[in-house]
């Protein structure tokens, strides 16, 4: 298979889908890898390193898109890339089609085979290609709070650490999953009073076993949430809110319960999702105030740690990519139900339930679809 490694075009996106080590694994198995010139520079990888791993370096995205069978990326497909999609191509990336109706239109109209990292599952029902970026997003979310709470960066001047003679700050984390644990590890390591809210006892027990004793766990109900909002210096939301829901966990009125100039970090970056007042921001303009509360909602936090993120991401995505490349996409989808969960669309058929619900589109069952292959 001819695999095209593209340079990301989203502003402030410095990750790359594959490291030279990953390219070497692909070329060693007989696959051809085309790398767009400078695709890896944002993560510290040179064209020479990719060439040494067996890749062919091409000067433009158009050359890669035209010649490749599979587009290996990090972020969703943007309008200037849609023209390269057709029924003979495969898109393998974070697609997030539920949040991008126009992208969904382009995918369906082009009849491209689109496989989304974020929806691929494992035997435990978890999302192994989301996990590494979720961990980084959680850790990066706390580091963002540490940074933006500084007076010189527009915060209220609270140091999120246990300083002798001063009461330790309170950091509340919503969600005991990968992002929540990542945030809690750093927040607790700095000596903060850390509280994690969740509705899943098993997830809380798993997190409790690996986190230090300055992390406490509360069942996520209205009473406990209100208490945490009143006490917290920082609230970090680490849960994805169902796209079809119109209610919120934290409403605009709830912000009035918080300390003046406290901070909300929304790792999930759902516009009007779990937190009503959250909207996606960028690394160039990461924060804003609503109801006197500082908000940080950057939607690609891991890009700030691009080299680490690229290594973690490429390690996670490679096994599934090898299945696609070695077997062909139809056989791989037919034989691997976890990969099939990641199928967003095939030959003009939308197969992702979440997108169908949110955008009111017809849904094709992927399990039934592969029976026709």
Per-position DSSP letters for 217-277, written without gaps between them: EEE--HHHHHHHHHH-SEEEE--PPPTT----SB-GGGGGGSPTT-EEEESS--TTSSBTT
**Does residue 96 carry a catalytic annotation?**
yes
Distance of alpha carbon 3 from alpha carbon 321, whole angstroms = 10
Nearest to 193 by CA among 164, 170, 216: 170
270 pLDDT above the threshold of 90: no
Q: Which of 15-53 are b and which e, b meaning 16 or more Cβ less than 10 Å from the residue's Cβ?
A: bbbbbbebbbbbbeeebbbbbbbebbebbebebebbeeb
Is residue 144 a contact partner of residue 138, using CB atoms and an 8 Å limit? no
Q: Is the pLDDT of residue 243 over 80?
A: no
Is 270 catalytic? The answer is yes
Q: How far apart are CA 181 and CA 132, in angstroms?
A: 12
Q: List, for residues 67-117, the tens digit of each pLDDT value.
A: 999 999 999 999 999 999 999 999 999 999 988 999 999 999 999 999 999
Is pLDDT of 273 > 80? yes
Among 148, 270, 295, 299, which one carries the catalytic annotation? 270
What pLDDT shows up at residue 98?
Answer: 87
Global pTM value: 0.91
Interval 309-336: pLDDT, tens:
999 999 999 999 999 999 999 999 999 9
Rounded Cα distance between 248 and 270, Å, is: 11
What are the tens digits of pLDDT across the range 284-302? 999 999 999 999 999 899 9
For tokens 């119109």, the residue is 246
Which of the following is catalytic: 96, 233, 266, 295?
96
């Amino acid at each position: 298979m001819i695999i095209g490694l593209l340079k990301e075009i989203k502003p402030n996106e410095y990750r790359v889908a594959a490291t030279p080590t990953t390219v070497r694994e692909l070329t060693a198995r007989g696959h051809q890898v085309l790398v767009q010139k400078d695709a890896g520079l944002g993560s510290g990888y040179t064209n020479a390193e990719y060439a040494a791993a067996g890749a062919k370096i091409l000067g433009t995205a158009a050359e890669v898109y035209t010649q490749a069978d599979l587009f290996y990326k990090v972020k969703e497909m943007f309008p200037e890339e849609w023209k390269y999609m057709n029924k003979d191509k495969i898109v393998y990336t974070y697609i997030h089609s539920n949040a991008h109706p126009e992208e969904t239109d382009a995918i369906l109209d082009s009849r491209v085979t689109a496989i989304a990292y974020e929806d691929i599952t494992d035997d435990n029902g978890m999302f192994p290609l989301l996990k590494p970026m979720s961990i980084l997003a959680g850790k990066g979310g706390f580091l963002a709070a540490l940074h933006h709470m500084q007076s010189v960066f527009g915060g209220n001047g609270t140091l999120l650490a246990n300083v002798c003679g001063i009461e330790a700050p309170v950091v509340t984390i919503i969600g005991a999953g990968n992002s929540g644990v990542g945030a809690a590890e750093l927040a607790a390591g700095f000596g903060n009073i850390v509280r994690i809210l969740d509705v899943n006892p098993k997830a809380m027990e798993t997190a409790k076993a690996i986190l230090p004793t300055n992390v406490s766990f509360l069942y996520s109900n209205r009473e406990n949430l209100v208490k945490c909002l009143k006490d917290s210096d920082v609230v970090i939301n680490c849960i994805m809110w169902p796209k079809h829901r119109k209610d919120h966990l934290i409403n605009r009125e709830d912000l009035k319960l918080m300390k003046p100039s406290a901070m909300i970090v929304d790792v999930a970056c759902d516009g009007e999702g779990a937190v009503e007042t959250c909207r996606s921001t960028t690394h160039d303009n990461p924060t804003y105030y609503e109801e006197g509360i500082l908000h940080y909602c950057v939607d690609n936090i891991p890009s700030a740690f691009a080299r680490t993120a690229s290594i973690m991401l490429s390690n996670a995505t490679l096994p599934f990519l090898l299945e696609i490349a070695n077997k062909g996409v139809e056989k791989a989808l037919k034989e691997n139900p976890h990969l099939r969960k990641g199928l967003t669309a095939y030959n003009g058929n939308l197969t992702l339930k979440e997108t169908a619900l949110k955008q009111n589109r017809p849904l094709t069952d992927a399990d039934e679809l592969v029976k026709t292959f």
